[in-house]
Amino acid sequence: MYNIRYLTGAVLCLLLLAAPGCGRQQQESRSMPPALTLAVGGENPEGYDPTLGWGSYGNPLFHSTLLRRDADLNIVPDLATEWKLAENRLTWTVTIRPDVVFSDGSPLTARDVAYTFNTAAAAGGVLDLANLGRAEAVDDITVQLHLKQPDITFINYLITLGIVPEKLHGQGYGRGPVGSGPYRLVRWDEGQQMIVEANPYYYGRQPAIKRLIFLFSGEDAALAAAKAGRVDVLAVPSSLAAQAIPGMKLHVVKSVDNRGLMFPCVPDTGVKTPRGLAVGNDVTADVAIRRAVNFAINRQALVDGVLEGFGRPAFGAVDDLPWDNPTIRFRDNDAEKAGAILAEAGWLDRDGDGVREKDGVKAEFTIVYNATDSLRQGLSLAVADMLRPVGIRAVPRGENWDRIKNELVHSNVVVFGFGGHSPLEMYKLYHSPGAEPSYWNGGFYTNAVVDRYLEQARAAASFADSIPLWQKAQWDGRTGLSMAGDAPWAWLVNLDHTYFINQCLDVGRSQMEPHGHGWPITANINEWQWTCN
């Protein structure tokens, strides 16, 4: 039987790296260990409740979803056996499997599905289900999701929202979740570890790896544990990915986890948001500045220097996703082009100090980044160096993340990271914002033509029909949200997610991962195999 005390002690030994002989058996034997140990971050202090946002980037682990994405990002069934959008595009009718039970053995019915969607909509948290009018169970295996207005991106919630049991859900649920996913939670020592085991009631392919231990230690402790042979899967930043760890192999996963500079797109007129936040920047309100920055940046140098080669240049928010428009690519690292754009717009270095000016305004701005994020710091410093030769002074400044979101976001250039498996993210980033947009379109970018394309895309009759509209929003040959159009962003890099994995562990083919929340590496955990005897 599974001995909690033994595993807890083993984990403490992993963290302390002190007890003689601790973990020795795993080091000296290639046979399947009693549990795989993962140090991949992802602890969710708020708990593991899908109705409050857990799993919103996909793969809630403890829970099933109606649909899911495969390794090629195709939409395939999970709980659902059939799903259909009505001709008026206002009602999804979903039929679910009749044989599913939760990890406590109780049946999962359409009533639980309806409850999950209604509860998530009412929560008003990370998930934006405001367009859901109501969800209702037609019978035990049929649920209908009624929308207030057509929105093809709503299908993303069928892919990401984990289903919870109505009878067990309530206060404290997130600390002891019961779901119908491939694993169930056994123990969570907050700030230290989480122990999970395979769900014997799971209806899908049973995972070969029966127990997992997630370590929530710091980067240095996790790396030391891996070097001592006591971690099987280790997530590392790109700066640490070039080293060798005995007994482990590097696993590199392509991602749409991007980093970019968001520009305030309106001038500073003294207008403030309802919360009193300053809006606008007289320098970046000029599209010539924004376009010149885009041309002056050497993105491959950022990949090579800041990401240690683990990534690729970014030209948009949705690079290489099905709704990406490849025509928006351009040749960067072109100081001559950047200088010509600035000069034509009237930005000249009149006093010889190396910084251009126009109408008495210097071409200078602050690049604000999260002070605890060394990668964003590195990007900010490198970009500042790249802009200096074209006559733009950028001053990197690390700030508290809360202060960035709550004070600085609308009047400063900010290094943000996004990247998801739904075009809804593009809509939120670029559609004309309301009076208080927070970090979604915090630069107050607006373009009526882009808005129309984005709205038409959401209202499309099918996902396939929406793709050309998403692409036109980026660039339709005359205008768009990309650099060739209004350039409200200077996208910099797409990260590779880098992991060290026990050389006896085969994790299969990983899907292109989204922005790093949760445990994206485990999206295909049912396919993981231990290859050593």
Given the DSSP bridges, would you call strands 357-358 and 529-530 parallel, antiparallel or unpaired? Answer: unpaired
Residue 52 sits at φ, ψ, to 5 deg, of -110, 5
Q: Which conformational region is residue 199 in: left (phi greater than 0), alpha (psi within -120 to 50 degrees), or beta?
A: beta
The residue ranking higher by pLDDT, 31 or 456, is: 456
User: Looking at the predicted structure, is the pLDDT value of residue 29 above 70?
Assistant: no
User: How many other C-beta atoms can be found within 10 angstroms of the C-beta atom of residue 171?
Assistant: 7
| Per-residue pLDDT band at 533 (split at 50, 70, 90) | confident
309, 227: one domain: no
pLDDT digits (tens, 9 = 90+) for 33-73: 789 999 998 888 889 999 998 988 768 899 999 999 998 98
Half-sphere exposure of 518 (CA within 13 A, CB side): 22
Give me the mean pLDDT over the 397-426 stretch: 95
Give me the mean pLDDT over the 80-89 stretch: 96
In a 3-state reduction of DSSP, which class is residue 25? Answer: helix
236, 301: one domain: no
pLDDT digits (tens, 9 = 90+) for 379-392: 999 999 999 999 99
Question: What's the domain count of the chain?
Answer: 2
Q: What is the pTM of this model?
A: 0.89
User: Looking at the predicted structure, is the pLDDT value of residue 3 above 60?
Assistant: no
- Whether residue 194 contacts residue 213, with contact meaning beta carbons closer than 8 Å, is answered with yes
DSSP letter at 101 equals B
pLDDT digits (tens, 9 = 90+) for 59-70: 889 999 999 999
Q: Which residue do the tokens 């399947």 mark?
A: 32
Percent of the chain with pLDDT over 90: 85
| Per-residue pLDDT band at 80 (split at 50, 70, 90) | very high
477, 507: one domain: no
Distance of CA 431 to the CA centre of its chain: 19
E strand or H helix at 94, and its extent? Answer: strand 91-96
Cα–Cα distance between 19 and 137 in angstroms, integer?
55
User: Looking at the predicted structure, is the pLDDT value of residue 369 above 80?
Assistant: yes
- Domain range spanning residue 154? 4-247+503-530
229, 333: one domain: no
104, 69: one domain: yes
47, 100: one domain: yes
304, 216: one domain: no
Cα–Cα distance between 162 and 147 in angstroms, integer?
19
| Per-residue pLDDT band at 16 (split at 50, 70, 90) | very low
- Of 386, 301, 391, the closest CA to residue 340 belongs to 391
259, 380: one domain: yes
Question: What CATH number is given to the structural domain containing 219?
Answer: 3.40.190.10
- Of 291, 386, 388, the closest CA to residue 342 belongs to 291
| Lowest mean pLDDT segment, chosen from 39-53, 196-210, 252-266, 285-299 | 39-53
189, 278: one domain: no
Whole-number average pLDDT of the chain = 92
175, 261: one domain: no
- Of 372, 368, 350, 370, the closest CA to residue 359 belongs to 350
Question: What CATH number is given to the structural domain containing 308?
Answer: 3.10.105.10
207, 265: one domain: no
Percent of the chain with pLDDT over 70: 94
In a 3-state reduction of DSSP, which class is residue 219? Answer: helix
pLDDT digits (tens, 9 = 90+) for 426-469: 999 999 998 888 889 999 999 999 999 999 999 999 999 999 99
Buried b (16+ CB within 10 A) or exposed e, 439-462: bbbbbbbbbebbbebbbbbbbbee
185, 88: one domain: yes
Give me the mean pLDDT over the 79-92 stretch: 96
Q: For residue 27, what pLDDT is reported?
A: 42
Q: For residue 30, what pLDDT is reported?
A: 63
